[in-house]
Each structure stands twice: as structure tokens, then as C-alpha cells.
Amino acid sequence: MKASSHLGAGVRTMIRILRHCMGYSLAIEAASPLGSWSNAIGAAVDLAVSLAFFQFVFLKGVDSIRGWSWGHLLVLVGSYNIVLQLHSALFGASLGRIPRLIRTGSLDTVLLKPVDSQILVSFHLITPARLVYCLYSVPAVVMGIRHLGLSVEPVRALLYLVTLLCGTVVLYASTLCAQATAFWLGDVYGVSMLAGQGMELARYPLDIFPRAMQLGLLTVFPAAFVAYIPARVLIGDYELVLVGAGLVMAGSWLIISRLAWRAGLRRYVGAGE
């Protein structure tokens, strides 16, 4: 009884702090309307460039890429951008600050707060306004579905949303692990580039890669769960085991990120610049 009320108080504290974080981020966004517009345009251009890449190729007379037609790729690229924007709105800015917190010793102030440090460093710059950018990709996904002449029943739509969330969790956990290497390396430019560029492979259909690489992208470095699996689910070319694998992978990567963060904290000495 006592333990559950203690847990309840912890959750309430967390929700209160997250509410403050959101208010703070909204105030920052409101203070820089030019910046907000630029971010909004940037997100649209990012999606447009990804789609243009494939569109230009298809305009040159290519029918399909390893069985992936223009409609399939609209769904894939749209799904990738939904996950990317979800990640960017919820954790992107916060996770990018981790190396500086560690390097300067400012992580001390995070550790002193009465909430879980991993959650705080992951969400302290949460920008819910940017969740709107996810909507940019929805027309691309809908157009892809129409292009393929498919109809999506509610169960499949629900499974699609579940796999998108799994993809966001995988992206979050892998980014946190990359940023947490700052506990050991100090400078994380290279590791961030490696993780970031590796995740860019999620933009492409898994079928274009050789077997060994496909296996790697489904297990060791699970970029396939970011967009390929959700796209397959929405297109209707899936088995339930894929959705289960997505859930297992998201859970496993959350545990891995937790272990990495705790191992890093044990090394942290707070002797910053």
C-alpha cells in the first residue's frame, strides 16, 4: 500500500515536471516565431527531398525497385518521416544536449532533481508543437495506399500505429545509447554520425540489401523496425509475428538504453569544464 502510494507520488511529480518542460518549450517556440516557421518549412523540405529522390528515379522510366513500386515507397518514406518527427518532437532536442551536460558537468543539476535522470534528460526539451510535423507525412501515406488500390481495415491501422510507436522507441533507445557514449568518449560526433547515418538506411526497402545485411538490420542494428515493418503492416504484406518482433525489439532496446545510461552514470564524476 505504502509502496504503491510512493510510486503514485513519483508519477505525479514526473507528470508535473513534464508539464513544466512542455510549457517551457512552448514559450521558447513562441519567443522565436521565425525559428518555428523555419523548423516547419525544414520538416516539409526534408520529406519533399526524400520523396523527390524516388520520384525522379520513377520519372526516368523505372517501374519498381525490387518489387517496391512508387505507391509502396510513398508509404515507406511517409512512415519513416512520421517516426522521425515523433522522435524529434518528443526527444530529439533533449537527447542532443546529453554530451554537453556530461562534458560540462551540468548533469549534476539533473541528478539532484527528485525524478529519474534518464527520463528527465530524454524529455526536458519536449516540443509538442512539433508533433504537427508528423501530419505532413500523412498525405504521402494515404496517397501511397490509394496508388496501390488498397483499403485499410481498423485492425491493420491499429497495428500500423503500434509498429510506428515501436519504431519510435527503437530510434529513441539507439540515439540515447549513441549520446550516452559521451560518458566514455567525451566527444560523440563520430558515434552520432554513425548511428544517425545507419538509421538513414531505414528510408530504403529492406529487400534491396543482401541477406546478411537484412539480418543485421533486423537484429543488431534494428533500422528495419523504424519504417520498413510499419510500411509492410500497412500495405498488408505481413504476419503477426512481425508486429510481435517489433514489440520485443522495442522492449529490448529500452532495456539496453536503461543499462547503458546506468553504466554511464556509474562512470560520471561531474568534473566538467
Partner 1 sequence: MSSYTYCTVPRRLLTQVSQHLAVVNYHAMAAMHLRVSHLTAILGGMAELVGFVFLWSAVYLSSPALAGYSFQQMVTYYVVAMVLSEGARYETNWELWSDIRDGKLAAVAIRPISTCSYYVARQIGQVILPTSIRVAVAIFLGLSTRQHIFVPYLPTQWMAFAVSVAFAVYLASLLSVARGLAAFWLLDYGPFGWLDHLLVRFFAGGFLPLGLFPPLLRAIANWLPFRFIVYDPIQIYLGHTTVAQALTVVAGQALWVIGTFALVVVLWRRGSRRYTGEGL
Q: What is the contact surface with partner 1 in residues (CB under 8 A)?
A: 32, 34-36, 38-39, 41-42, 45-46, 49, 52-53, 56-57, 59-66, 185, 187-191, 193-198, 200-201, 203-204, 207-210, 213
The C-alpha cell of 157 is what?
Answer: 491501422
Identity of the residue, 81 or 118, whose beta carbon is nearer to partner 1 in the bound complex: 81
Identity of the residue, 63 or 153, whose beta carbon is nearer to partner 1 in the bound complex: 63
What is the smallest separation between the CB atom of 61 and partner 1, expressed in angstroms?
A: 6
Identity of the residue, 159 or 170, whose beta carbon is nearer to partner 1 in the bound complex: 170
Burial bucket for residue 90 (CB in 10 Å: 0-12, 13-18, 19+): buried
Identity of the residue, 25 or 118, whose beta carbon is nearer to partner 1 in the bound complex: 25
What is the smallest separation between the CB atom of 13 and partner 1, expressed in angstroms?
A: 31
Amino acid at 81: N
Ranges assigned E (strand) in the chain:
none
The answer to whether 231 touches 145, Cβ cutoff 8 Å, is no
What is the smallest separation between the CB atom of 191 and partner 1, expressed in angstroms?
A: 6
The answer to whether 51 touches 77, Cβ cutoff 8 Å, is yes
Residue at grid coordinates 522565436? 32
Burial bucket for residue 161 (CB in 10 Å: 0-12, 13-18, 19+): middle
